[in-house]
Chain A
Amino acid sequence: MKLFSDLIAKISVETIKMELMKTAYGTDDTFLSKLDSRILIVWYLIFAILPWLFFNKTIIIGLLLFMIVMASMSKVSKLIVALLSFSLIAEFSSIFIVSYFFGGGVESIGPLILLSTKLVIIALASISIFTSMDPEKFSDALLSFGLSGRYCFGVSYGYRILPLLFEEYNNIFNSFRLRGKMPEQKGFLGWRSIYYYLKIIILGFYPMILNTAKRIRTTVEALELKGFTYSLDNEEVKKLKLSYMKVGKQDILFLASSICIVAIIITIGKIYPL
Chain B
Amino acid sequence: MKEILRVEDLTFQYPGADERVLENVNLKINEGDFVAIIGSNGSGKTTLCKTFNGLIPHYHVGDFEGRVIVGSDDTTQTSVSKLAQRVGYVYQNFEEQLVRPTVYDEVTFAPLNFGFKDYKKRGQAAIELLGLEPIKHKFIWELSGGQKHLVALAGVLALDPDIIIIDEPVAQLDPANAIEIYEKLKYLNEEHGKTIIVIEHHTEFIGDYCKSVVMMGRGYVAWHKPVKQALSRIDELREKNIFPPQVTQAAYELSVSNDTYPINLDEGLDYFSDISKPSFTTARRHRFTKKIDIEPVITFNNVKHSYRTLSKDKRVALNNLNISFYEGDRVALIGNNGAGKSTLLKMITGLIKPSQGDAIVCGNNTRQISSEDLAEEVTYIYQNPEEMFISDNIRQDIEYYLKSRNEENLDEFVDQIIETLGLEELQDRDGRLLSGGQQRRASLAIGTAMKPSVILLDEPTASLDIVSRKEMLNMIEKLEEWVKTVIVATHDMQLVSDWADRIIVLNEGEILKDTDQYGVFEDGELLSKTHIKPPQILELSRRLKMTPIALSVEEFVNRLGGEEVEAI
A22 at the interface (CB under 8 A from B): yes
Verify if B386 is at the interface (C-beta below 8 Å from A): yes
Q: Which of A18, A177, A215, A234 contacts B371 (CB 8 A)?
A: A177
Is B243 at the interface (CB under 8 A from chain A)?
no
Distance A222 CA – B310 CA, assembled complex (angstroms): 29
Beta-carbon contact of A227 and B55 below 8 Å: no
Q: Which of B113, B139, B351 is A237 in contact with, Cβ under 8 Å?
A: B113
Check B260 for interface membership: any CB of A closer than 8 A. no
Q: From A31-39, A51-59, A164-172, give the one contacting chain B.
A: A164-172
Tell me if A272 is interfacial: C-beta within 8 Å of chain B.
Answer: no
Question: With A and B bound together, what is the CA distance between A26 and B101 in angstroms?
Answer: 12
Q: Does A226 lie within 8 Å of B155, measured CB to CB?
A: yes
Instruction: Check: B198 CB closer than 8 A to any chain A CB.
Output: no
Q: In the complex, how many angstroms separate the beta carbon of B222 from the nearest chain A beta carbon?
A: 28
* A-B residue pair count with CB separations less than 8 angstroms: 140
List A contacts of B565 (CB < 8 A).
none
Instruction: Report the Cα distance A187→B93, complex, angstroms.
Output: 46
Q: A246 contacts the other chain (Cβ, under 8 Å)?
A: no
Select the residue from A179, A203, A219 with max chain B CB neighbours within 10 A: A179
A204 CA / B389 CA spacing, docked (Å): 10
Query: Does any Cβ of A come within 8 Å of B450's Cβ?
Result: yes
Question: Could you say which residues of chain B place their CB within 8 Å of the CB of A174?
Answer: 351, 371
Indicate whether A92 reaches chain B with its CB closer than 8 angstroms.
no
Is the C-beta of B405 less than 8 angstroms from some C-beta in chain A? Answer: yes
A43 within 8 A of B: no
Q: A180 — which chain B residues lie within 8 A by C-beta?
A: 372, 400-401, 404
A146-177 CB mask vs B (1 if < 8 Å, else 0) is 00000000001101100110001001101111
For B85, the closest partner residue in chain A by CB is A227
Contact with B along A223-257 (1 / 0, CB 8 A): 11111111100101100110000000000000000
Chain B proximity of A207: nearest CB distance (Å): 5
Interfacial chain A residues near B11, Cβ < 8 Å: none
Given contacts A160-B101, A207-B386, A227-B81, contact A26 B310 (CB under 8 A): yes
Question: What's the least CB distance linking A136 to chain B, in Å?
Answer: 6
Task: Select from chain A the residue with minimum beta-carbon distance to B96.
Answer: A218
Q: Given the complex of chains A and B, what is the CA–CA distance between A219 and B99 in angstroms?
A: 7
Which residue of B has the minimal Cβ distance to A22?
B310
A240 and B115 within 8 A (CB): yes
A22 proximity list for chain B (CB < 8 A): 310
Contact of A221 among B55, B382, B401 (CB under 8 A): B55
Q: How far is the CB of A70 from chain B (nearest CB, A)?
A: 25
In the bound complex, residues from chain B placing their C-beta under 8 Å from that of A171 are 382, 384, 387
Contact pattern, A 165-208, Cβ under 8 Å of B = 1, otherwise 0: 00010011011111111100000000000000000000110010
Which residue of B has the minimal Cβ distance to A215?
Answer: B96
Who on chain A is nearest to B93 by CB? A218
A21: chain B residues within 8 A (beta carbon): 139, 141, 310
Q: Is the CB of B390 within 8 A of A224?
A: no
Check: B308 CB closer than 8 A to any chain A CB: yes
Residue A25 at the chain B interface, CB threshold 8 Å? yes
- Also in contact, A14 and B101, with CB within 8 A (given A181-B372, A207-B387, A227-B84): no
Contact B99–A223 (Cβ < 8 Å): yes
Asked whether any CB of chain A lies closer than 8 Å to the CB of B370, the reply is yes
Is A224 touching B114 in the complex (CB atoms < 8 A)?
A: no
- A5 near B404 (CB under 8 angstroms)? no
Contact in complex: B114, A231 (CB < 8 Å): yes
A87 located at the interface, meaning its Cβ lies under 8 Å from any Cβ of chain B in the complex: no
Complex Cα spacing A102 to B299, Å: 62
CA of A18 to CA of B315 in the docked complex: distance in angstroms? 15
Chain A residues whose CB sits within 8 angstroms of the CB of B112 once the complex forms = 231, 237, 240-241
B556 within 8 A of A: no
**Would you call B89 and A225 a contact (CB within 8 A)?**
yes
Q: Do residues B390 and A219 form an inter-chain contact, with CB atoms below 8 A?
A: no
Q: Do A157 and B99 touch (CB < 8 A)? A: yes
Whether B97 is near chain A, meaning CB under 8 Å from some CB there, is yes
Chain A residues contacting B388 (CB-CB under 8 Å) are 175
Q: CA A14 – CA B140 in complex, angstroms?
A: 16
Q: Which of B59, B155, B404 contacts A179 (CB 8 A)?
A: B404
Question: Taking the complex as formed, is A211 at the interface, i.e. its CB lies under 8 A from any CB of chain B?
Answer: yes
Q: What residue in chain B is nearest A26 (Cβ atoms)?
A: B310
The answer to whether B307 has its CB under 8 Å from any CB of chain A is yes
Q: Mark B424-467, 1 if CB is under 8 A from A, else 0.
A: 00000010100000000000001000100000000000000000
Quick check: A218 and B97 within 8 Å, CB to CB?
Answer: yes
- A179-B400, A227-B81 given; A222·B375 CB < 8 A: no
Q: Mark B402-419, 1 if CB is under 8 A from A, else 0.
A: 001100000000000000
Do the beta carbons of A228 and B351 come within 8 Å of each other?
Answer: no
- B404 partner residues in chain A, CB cutoff 8 A: 179-181
- Interfacial chain B residues near A231, Cβ < 8 Å: 112-115
Q: List the B residue with the shortest CB-CB distance to A176.
A: B390
The answer to whether A211 and B101 have CB atoms under 8 Å apart is no
Q: Which of B84, B390, B432 has the most CB of A within 10 A?
A: B390
**0/1 string, B40-79, CB within 8 A of A gives 1:** 0000000000000101000100000000000000000000
Q: Bits for B97-108, please: 1 = Cβ < 8 Å to A, else 0.
A: 101110001000
For A176, the chain B residues whose CB sits under 8 A away are 390
Contact partner, A207, options B155, B351, B372, B389, Cβ 8 Å: B389
Chain A hits for B307, CB < 8 A: 14
Contact A25 B113 (CB under 8 A): no
Starting from the known contacts A177-B372, A218-B96, 6 additional A-B residue pairs (CB-CB under 8 Å) come to: A160-B140, A211-B387, A211-B432, A218-B91, A225-B80, A227-B110
6 A-B pairs within 8 Å (CB atoms) are namely A15-B308, A18-B308, A136-B101, A171-B387, A179-B450, A231-B113
* A-B pairs with lowest CB-CB distance, top 6: A227-B113, A231-B113, A218-B96, A178-B375, A171-B387, A230-B81
Give me the interface of B with A, judged by CB distance under 8 Å.
Answer: 53, 55, 59, 80-81, 84, 89, 91, 93, 95-97, 99-101, 105, 109-110, 112-115, 117, 119, 139-141, 155, 307-308, 310, 349, 351, 353, 370-372, 375, 379-380, 382, 384, 386-390, 400-401, 404-405, 430, 432, 446, 450
